[in-house]
Amino acid sequence: MRFTVVTWNINSVRLREQQVLRLLSEVQPDVLCLQELKSPFDKIPTQSFAEAGYPHLVARGQKAYNGVAILAREEIEDAGAIDFCEVGDARHVAARTTAGLLIHNFYVPAGGDVPDPDANPKFDHKLRFVDEMRERFDRPAEKTVMVGDLNIAPLEHDVWSHKELLKVVSHTPIEVEKFDQARSAGGWIDVPRQFVPEDQKLYSWWSYRAKDWAASNRGRRLDHVWASPDLDGALSGSTVIKEARAWEKPSDHAPVVAVFDL
């Protein structure tokens, strides 16, 4: 059975409701994981998503900030949420599908601009968050997919310039080290990189600040899909829907697709 999961930092689900509907129509994933909803739960446009064929939702909302949701065509079970670092942010939600997958959806803190945990509490929060991910998800006990805006571009070719971004939050050595520790602890498979070799550029985010983001192509791969080791033989494909970055009123992130043969 073909099973498609998409992850997308939508950067306001109410502002970009139509973009979500377009993705659902054109891609028709089994599951869509959204981050940065910037909406309380009761303001999520659930009716239009249901009318588009996605009546099932688990989410954790938050007014104006954060927020994560999992939309599905078939019934899903709410598998809870973790309050990482115990600060009350809506940055994680999980669901169990009828296809037998446990899906975790994350929105890792961006970390501010200064890559020093002593001088920048936001960066300290980010590092502690990733440490907690490593501690909590070091032994996946069932078929599991972890997705989301993890706000770290770990590999040299996950950024437009490895040298220039070494001191820029999202690609600093300490972030990359902690990211690698979290992924390695559970033996998590970096799904997109199974289909795009590490020596090739791969991005999922392009800044709003660029006058012509496509021409400059100064991107970063901040959005990730990890699969538990027992799904290794089920990986079927992965792609970044780069063209969504050019849609009307776009998010600065593009959707990342992962396909499994279950």
Tokens found for residue 3: 């099973």
Half-sphere exposure of 9 (CA within 13 A, CB side): 27
- Supply the pLDDT for residue 44: 98
pLDDT band of residue 112 (cuts 50, 70, 90) is: very high
- Supply the pLDDT for residue 15: 98
Average predicted confidence (pLDDT) for the chain: 97
pLDDT band of residue 162 (cuts 50, 70, 90) is: very high
Check pLDDT > 90 for residue 143.
Answer: yes
CA–CA separation, 199 vs 73, rounded Å? 36
- Supply the pLDDT for residue 99: 87
Is 3.40.50.12780 the CATH classification of the domain at 2-109+144-153+187-261? no
- Supply the pLDDT for residue 139: 87
More confident residue, 100 or 203: 203
Q: Mean pLDDT throughout 163-189?
A: 98
The percentage of residues in the chain with a pLDDT greater than 70, rounded to a whole number, is 100
CA–CA separation, 34 vs 52, rounded Å? 16
Tokens found for residue 232: 């290794």
CA angle 258, 134, 204 (to 5 degrees): 35
Q: Mean pLDDT throughout 86-101?
A: 96
Contacts of 178 (CB under 8 A, 6+ apart): 127, 130, 131, 134
